[in-house]
Structure 1
Amino acid sequence: MKPRTSSRSMAAVLVGVAALVLGVAGTGASAAPPDESIEQLIADRINVAGRGAAVADYGFSAGLSGGFASDTAGSGPVLPAWLAAFGYGLLNPDAAPPGANDWNCKPTAAHPRPVVLLHGTWMNAYNSFAFMGQPIKDAGFCTFAFNYGRSGPVQGGGLPPVLPGVMGTGNIEDSAKQLGTFVDRVLAATGAPAVDIIGYSQGGAMANWYTKFEGGADKVQHLITFGATHHGSTIDGIAALGRAINNIGVDVVGASSIVVGHAVAEQTIGSDFVNRLNANGDTIPGIDYTVVGTRYDEIMTPYNLTFLRQGRGASVENVTLQDGCELDLSDHQTLMYSPRALSIALRALDPAGHPNLACTFNPWLIGGGGHL
């Protein structure tokens, strides 16, 4: 009988192959901190390559573009569990998050800026903010949300949009233009000089693009992001492998966008979108940033790629959700259903009125607003 190869040996072989492809081996294993993962080393190597313009997207899916944004209609219920909210959002794709889109709302002296809520990839306005929307409204803020990046397979959105509640799939640059139109509507309706934005996942990176390239720098005071793909994601190593193959001239990332959509491909680590987004620094002068990541994120990996480096004239607070609260097990999906995440958002919006952070158990994958 032939001896079986141990899983540890197989893992070592796979790691070695990845290291050779990406050039990680050349850095020397002893140079890495003891707690630095192979995935982090791969991410760092791809980022270095991107800054040197060695990474390219070869445009396999070029020519597929389009899509649109839409207003919400009606309001969905407050739901504390992600799974329940996701299902409701699929069946009611145009529902607004609870508390959002009162177009007669006027900001007060205590809360002078309206808050724009931006959903994530393959999500919609409702199921991204079914838990947070009403408490933010109840705290005294005018809140607004819309559905962006509505692109079907023909427009480059991939196959997921065959489900009616799946949005945020089109080119992120187009979605940023859609955000610009929506922000202008909010400012006109409320008379406010600027907005604050809460962006989940793609919504955070898209808002960042809006401030840098679509005239949003003077219209956003505070950008608060949760699990945002500011520096791209390895998606548990899958995207890192695809990017490595791209770097040797085979556009597997572009090809995959036909299935998963432009937005997913753009959010992979080392993409042209990510490189352009951060080419001149992570931040914009005059904007305050609160950036939240969770250690249990299985989509935004490594999770610290979400964090921003503070540039001139900006302020940045990078927050790991579990720091000071190991009870919170929120992953990428349930992050927006975490009482602690909600309290971080409220503190960022109104530090004097909401100085304390919650710390409750929030289960991985299911979510429950602190309850099973």
Structure 2
Amino acid sequence: MRPKMRALGGAVCAGVTAMGMALSGGVANSAPEVLSPSTASDTVGAGPELSAPLAAFAYGLTHPDAAPPGANDWTCKPSAEHPRPVVLLHGTWLNAYDSFAYLSPRIARAGFCVFAFNYGREGLLEGGGLGPILPGRYGVGPLEDSARQVAGFVDRVLAATGAPAVDVVAHSQGGPVTSQYLKFDGGQGKVRKVISLGATSHGTSLMGIATLGRWITNMGVNILGFYEPILGQSNIEQTVGSPFYTKLDADGDTVPGVDYTAIGTEHDEVSNPYQWTFLQQGPGATVDNITLQQDCAQDLSDHLTIMYSPRAASIALRALDPAAHPDLECAFNPWMIGGDGHL
């Protein structure tokens, strides 16, 4: 994609994203709610398997609490070959279904027990305000509250499966929420692998918009605070230089005993610059930072369509089970539309 077209496309997508933020934001609840599995249906495969993100997003609007296909079989017992369940964590303004309608069934068919839920609900989305306009949007609440919700969900998964630990596959905000859980909310020892896709691991500049907002705030005008009720607290916390990241990154990117795979795409207009999604290895951890376009330039995945990229899916499967999935796919995945290019 030529630079001018990429910039134009990024601006269009940023505009669509901003509209989504404005419609789905809210005011944080005073106390976090640990959501039960019913917030992403207990029924296995409650939502259809889809390869086009826009179709999945549309389905997720009308079925916001549907489980992604292959997920949430609470009778599933991990096998000797795959002893750890896989927990899927969605990103900002999304839900478990529209984030993982493509990836979840692939992980399940590979022999893993798969679980997903919706976290990060905020008050304005609950039954009033802007909620009815764009329902089913999660991941907008305070990141620390979301990490505690993840802690509760992981404990339920471990209790149901009898597994000693889980592996996590996280998109966007799911990356820093996982780090918060590992570092501050009892996750260390309960997670063995973390595979992130387009994670906002060190914040985002949103093509410079967030950086400008932080600069204006530092000049004495709290412009980010002004927009917080509209954008949702998690969006403000994910801007580069926020107090959340100052605390989160103080002792490095990783925790001992965890293997990390961080997948980034050059065409990411949200986790931007995309290199910020990568991690620096600390003591007792391993890190594999992978640019999606390395050896596969035709994959044009952006921040959302990376979840529908055959190559990204193959990287995630290799990270979960390198012996069974050593080879990486390479396929055209169009920017913004994703999948096979159809709606």
TM-score, normalised on structure 2?
A: 0.87
Match of 1:294 in 2: 265
- Compute the displacement of 1:251 (Å): 1.5
In terms of Rg, which structure is larger? 1
- Compute the displacement of 1:274 (Å): 1.2
In the alignment, which of 148, 151, 155 is matched to residue 177 of structure 1? 148
| Residue 205 (1) aligns with residue 173 (2) | no
- Compute the displacement of 1:154 (Å): 7.8
Encode CA deviations 1:42-88: one digit per residue, 9 max, x unaligned: xxxxxxxxxxxxxxxxxxx9986445335312410001011000010
Match of 1:41 in 2: none
Match of 1:85 in 2: 56
Percent identity over the alignment is: 60
Match of 2:69 in 1: 98
- Aligned equivalents of 1:310 and 1:251: distance in 2? 35
Moved more, 157-166 or 200-209: 157-166
- Aligned equivalents of 2:129 and 2:263: distance in 1? 28
In the alignment, which of 54, 66, 72 is matched to residue 40 of structure 2? 72
Q: Is the contact between residue 65 and residue 170 of structure 1 (CA under 8 Å) also seen in structure 2?
A: no
Q: Is the contact between residue 262 and residue 288 of structure 2 (CA under 8 Å) also seen in structure 1?
A: yes
Superposition map of 1:17-56 within 5 A:
none
Q: Is the contact between residue 195 and residue 262 of structure 2 (CA under 8 Å) also seen in structure 1?
A: yes
- Aligned equivalents of 2:153 and 2:270: distance in 1? 27
- Aligned equivalents of 1:345 and 1:154: distance in 2? 32
- Compute the displacement of 1:152 (Å): 2.9
Match of 2:23 in 1: none
Q: Is the contact between residue 198 and residue 223 of structure 1 (CA under 8 Å) also seen in structure 2?
A: yes
Change in Cα spacing, 1:256 to 1:65, as seen in structure 2 (3 Å) is farther
In the alignment, which of 100, 107, 111 is matched to residue 129 of structure 1? 100
- Aligned equivalents of 2:83 and 2:255: distance in 1? 21
- Aligned equivalents of 1:63 and 1:176: distance in 2? 14
Q: Is the contact between residue 300 and residue 335 of structure 2 (CA under 8 Å) also seen in structure 1?
A: yes
Residue 331 of structure 2 aligns to which amino acid in structure 1?
T
| Residue 252 (1) aligns with residue 220 (2) | no
In the alignment, which of 161, 167, 180 is matched to residue 196 of structure 1? 167
RMSD (CA atoms): 2.0
Change in Cα spacing, 1:366 to 1:176, as seen in structure 2 (3 Å) is same
Number of corresponding residues: 311
- Compute the displacement of 1:163 (Å): 2.0
Match of 1:149 in 2: 120
- Compute the displacement of 1:371 (Å): 7.3
Change in Cα spacing, 1:295 to 1:104, as seen in structure 2 (3 Å) is same
Match of 2:252 in 1: 281
- Aligned equivalents of 1:161 and 1:148: distance in 2? 18
Q: Is the contact between residue 339 and residue 360 of structure 1 (CA under 8 Å) also seen in structure 2?
A: yes
Match of 1:43 in 2: none
- Compute the displacement of 1:257 (Å): 1.0
Match of 2:294 in 1: 323
- Compute the displacement of 1:162 (Å): 4.9
Encode CA deviations 1:284-330: one digit per residue, 9 max, x unaligned: 01111000110000111100011111111110000100001001000
- Aligned equivalents of 2:324 and 2:341: distance in 1? 22
Match of 1:350 in 2: 321
Q: Is the contact between residue 53 and residue 98 of structure 2 (CA under 8 Å) also seen in structure 1?
A: yes
Q: Is the contact between residue 107 and residue 113 of structure 1 (CA under 8 Å) also seen in structure 2?
A: yes
- Aligned equivalents of 2:131 and 2:54: distance in 1? 17
| Residue 232 (1) aligns with residue 203 (2) | yes
TM-score, normalised on structure 1?
A: 0.80
Match of 1:138 in 2: 109
Q: Is the contact between residue 318 and residue 326 of structure 2 (CA under 8 Å) also seen in structure 1?
A: yes
- Aligned equivalents of 1:84 and 1:198: distance in 2? 22
In the alignment, which of 312, 315, 339 is matched to residue 341 of structure 1? 312
User: Could you list the runs of 5+ residues in structure 2 that have no partner in the other structure?
Assistant: 1-25
Residue 180 of structure 1 aligns to which amino acid in structure 2?
A
